[in-house]
């Protein structure tokens, strides 16, 4: 059953408020009755021997009251039966259906939402209260543990579903009460996790949300923040999801839906100054399609690829063009010089080329199929070069390329990966869970300070400062990791297992050593113990 949106925002962020007038509903009921009158009488098959004339002359009028719906028919219908003629000039009936009461409650709900942003405010509270949705804060965890955006989205959907069930028109729990006179109307608010749910979170990298100090890892070793492992985070969300409203009275139900929208951590009507609108808007560029293009998409074995999604990026706007049929798409494109042509398909590595569409042309692109490989991670001791298998450690691994491919894994729980020949960016951290306590530590930091000499020359002298680091207890620590780029060629892609080597160090004995381990992740690839991944 389709349910109408009374409020929604389209792809161009244009908001639409479509609360139907009661007169519109009355007219729809009248039209429906007229159009389905013959169906109601089974096309008059039960009236053998009857002659019915002027059926199309029937005009219906509907009146919606709080507890009843009145329907009146005026017509010139004539019925002849055995030389007897009957005329139906007017017929009226009423249905015990509290449509007016249900409609009035629905309008009050929508007005409450539009005036006070009731559901947006509760959504922002959800973001602030639940740990599963990182918003803003500071953590002392020395493991730069990221949040996986897809996991945050899954938790967000589950939390929204549970909280919406508590909302009602009138409730003793004022937080969940809309404070609307219910007139004996039962209300049910819901979100189904199978429905659409837009979640955009920034800053993110390859589908991961990192605390600020963890993502940069460039803090000076003299910084107090790096020594005590302070990780700041402040994420900005755009959220959009539908809310289904069911109103029930006397076993009759009325349904409608609306979208709840959060933009930059605020309700849909932002208090911030409006952004400057780009005159080259997506609507203008993507809809102005002039020149015919032929796009051919093949697999690496020259087989045509069906249902590959073709996109075209011109300036900053990404246009969805269509999908291939038997490996080919013939479609008009917006005119653009040196835009980016992109093709995507599930279980294939995305492919793209620079392509101009200012005249009719054709082009072929090739896509590599993603093949599932076993994943094996080996840890290399940075000091001794000895290797070991992962045992109590947990690996946070991100592999991505420049064209849209991204895999985010937690090893060893996830030990399979879909990949193809290509060049990739790898980021990985090796964490060890447990109870770790670092005692108070005094660290002496020395710097060279310039001063003028008697001859006017600028000389430097050493000045030292003692820094006291408070004791700290941690539930996990970082032992090492890597950041580097690597390439898989077709020649070395034949094995079944992708083997990745990560550099680790000895378990740190104090906070300074822990800080140094975290900072060295960026440069571990220049160690003489470093090994590139291989497929075996």
Q: What's the pLDDT tens digit per position in 241-262?
A: 999 999 999 999 999 999 999 9
For the chain, the average pLDDT equals 84
Report the run of H or E that residue 479 belongs to, with start and end: strand 472-488
Give the pLDDT score at 97: 93
Cα 147 from Cα 149, distance rounded (Å): 6
| Strand locations in 3-58 (E) | 5-9, 15-17, 51-53
For residue 374, the SS3 value is strand
Residue in this structure with the two tokens 């009236």, named with its chain if needed: 47
Interior angle at CA 324, CA 420 and CA 347, nearest 5: 25
Least confident of 82-96, 109-123, 401-415, 475-489: 82-96
% pLDDT > 90, the chain: 52
Burial (0-12, 13-18, 19+ Cβ within 10 Å), 201: buried
Nearest to 258 by CA among 17, 10, 24, 12: 17
Q: What is the largest distance, in Å, between two alpha-carbon atoms of the chain? A: 134
Cα 64 from Cα 482, distance rounded (Å): 69
Query: HSE of 117 in the Cβ direction (CA atoms, 13 Å)?
Result: 15
- For 319, residues 6+ apart whose C-beta sits below 8 A from its C-beta are 282, 285, 286, 311, 312, 313, 333, 334
Burial (0-12, 13-18, 19+ Cβ within 10 Å), 371: middle
| 193 contacts 159 by C-beta, under 8 angstroms | no
- The b/e string for 67-96 (b: 16+ C-beta within 10 A; e otherwise) is eebebebebebebeeeeeeeebeeeeeeee
Q: What is the mean pLDDT of residues 281-290?
A: 67
Least confident of 84-88, 395-399, 404-408, 497-501: 84-88
Give the pLDDT score at 74: 87
**Each residue's pLDDT tens digit, 23-81:** 999 999 998 888 887 666 555 566 677 777 777 778 899 999 999 999 998 888 788 87
My answer on whether omega of the bond before 203 falls inside 30° of 0, hence cis, is yes
Burial (0-12, 13-18, 19+ Cβ within 10 Å), 185: buried
Report the DSSP beta bridge partners of residue 333.
291
For residue 101, the SS3 value is helix
| Strand locations in 128-283 (E) | 136-139, 147-148, 186-190, 198-202, 208-209, 231-234, 236-249, 252-263, 266-267
Give the pLDDT score at 509: 87
**Each residue's pLDDT tens digit, 425-463:** 999 999 988 888 888 877 776 766 565 554 455 555 677
For residue 151, the SS3 value is helix
Cα 377 from Cα 396, distance rounded (Å): 11
**Each residue's pLDDT tens digit, 153-164:** 999 999 999 999
My answer on whether omega of the bond before 412 falls inside 30° of 0, hence cis, is yes
Residue 280's pLDDT band (boundaries 50, 70, 90)? very low
Give how far Cα 345 sits from Cα of 79, 107, 267, 350, 407, Å: 63, 43, 35, 7, 15
The helix-helix angle for 99-116 and 22-35 (nearest 10°) equals: 140
- Helix, strand, coil in percent for the chain, rounding step 5: 20, 45, 35
Cα 286 from Cα 293, distance rounded (Å): 14
Residue 11's pLDDT band (boundaries 50, 70, 90)? confident
| 22 contacts 66 by C-beta, under 8 angstroms | no
């Amino acid at each position: 059953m389709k349910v109408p949106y009374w409020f929604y925002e389209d792809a161009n962020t244009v908001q639409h408020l479509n609360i139907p007038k009661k007169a519109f509903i009355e007219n729809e009921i009248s039209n429906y009755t007229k159009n389905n009158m013959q169906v109601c009488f089974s096309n008059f098959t039960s009236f053998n021997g009857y002659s019915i004339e002027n059926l199309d002359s029937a005009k219906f009028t509907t009146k919606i009251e709080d507890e009843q719906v009145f329907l009146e028919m005026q017509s010139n219908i004539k019925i002849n039966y055995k030389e007897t003629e009957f005329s139906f000039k007017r017929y009226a009936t009423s249905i015990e259906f509290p449509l007016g009461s249900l409609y009035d409650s629905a309008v009050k709900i929508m007005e409450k939402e539009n005036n006070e942003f009731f559901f947006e405010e509760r959504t922002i509270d959800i973001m602030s209260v639940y740990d599963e949705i990182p918003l803003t804060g500071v953590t002392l965890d020395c493991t730069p543990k990221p949040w996986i955006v897809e996991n945050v989205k899954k938790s967000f959907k589950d939390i929204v579903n549970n909280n919406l069930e508590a909302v009602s028109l009138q409730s003793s729990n004022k937080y969940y009460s809309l404070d609307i006179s219910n007139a004996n109307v039962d209300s049910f608010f819901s979100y189904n996790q199978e429905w659409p749910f837009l979640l955009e979170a920034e800053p993110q990298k390859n589908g991961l949300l990192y605390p600020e100090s963890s993502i940069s890892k460039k803090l000076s070793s003299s910084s107090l923040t790096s020594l005590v492992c302070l990780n700041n985070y402040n994420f900005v969300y755009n959220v959009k999801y539908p809310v289904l409203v069911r109103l029930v009275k006397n076993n009759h139900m009325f349904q409608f839906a609306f979208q709840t929208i959060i933009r930059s951590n605020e309700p849909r009507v932002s208090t911030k100054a409006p952004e400057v609108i780009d005159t080259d808007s997506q609507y203008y560029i993507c809809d102005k399609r002039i020149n015919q293009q032929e796009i051919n998409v093949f697999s690496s074995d020259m087989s045509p690829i069906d249902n590959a999604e073709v996109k075209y990026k011109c300036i900053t706007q990404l246009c969805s063009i269509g999908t291939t049929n038997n490996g080919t798409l013939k479609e008009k494109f917006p005119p653009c010089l040196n835009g980016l042509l992109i093709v995507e398909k599930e279980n294939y590595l995305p492919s793209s080329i620079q392509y101009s569409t200012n005249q009719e042309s054709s082009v072929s692109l090739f896509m590599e199929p993603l093949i599932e490989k076993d994943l094996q991670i080996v840890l290399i001791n940075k000091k001794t070069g000895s290797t070991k298998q992962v045992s109590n450690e947990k690996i946070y691994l991100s592999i991505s390329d420049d064209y849209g491919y991204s895999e985010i894994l937690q090893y060893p729980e996830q030990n399979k990966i879909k990949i193809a020949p290509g060049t990739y960016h790898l980021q990985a951290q090796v964490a060890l869970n447990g109870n770790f306590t670092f005692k108070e530590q005094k660290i002496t930091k020395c710097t060279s300070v310039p001063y003028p000499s008697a001859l006017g020359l600028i000389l430097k002298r050493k000045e030292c400062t003692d820094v006291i680091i408070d004791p700290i207890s941690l539930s996990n620590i970082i032992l090492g990791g890597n950041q580097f780029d690597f390439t898989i060629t077709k020649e070395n892609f034949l094995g079944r297992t992708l083997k990745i080597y990560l550099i680790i160090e000895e378990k740190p004995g104090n906070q300074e050593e822990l800080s140094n381990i975290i900072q060295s992740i960026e440069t571990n690839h220049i160690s003489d113990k470093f090994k590139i991944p291989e497929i075996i």
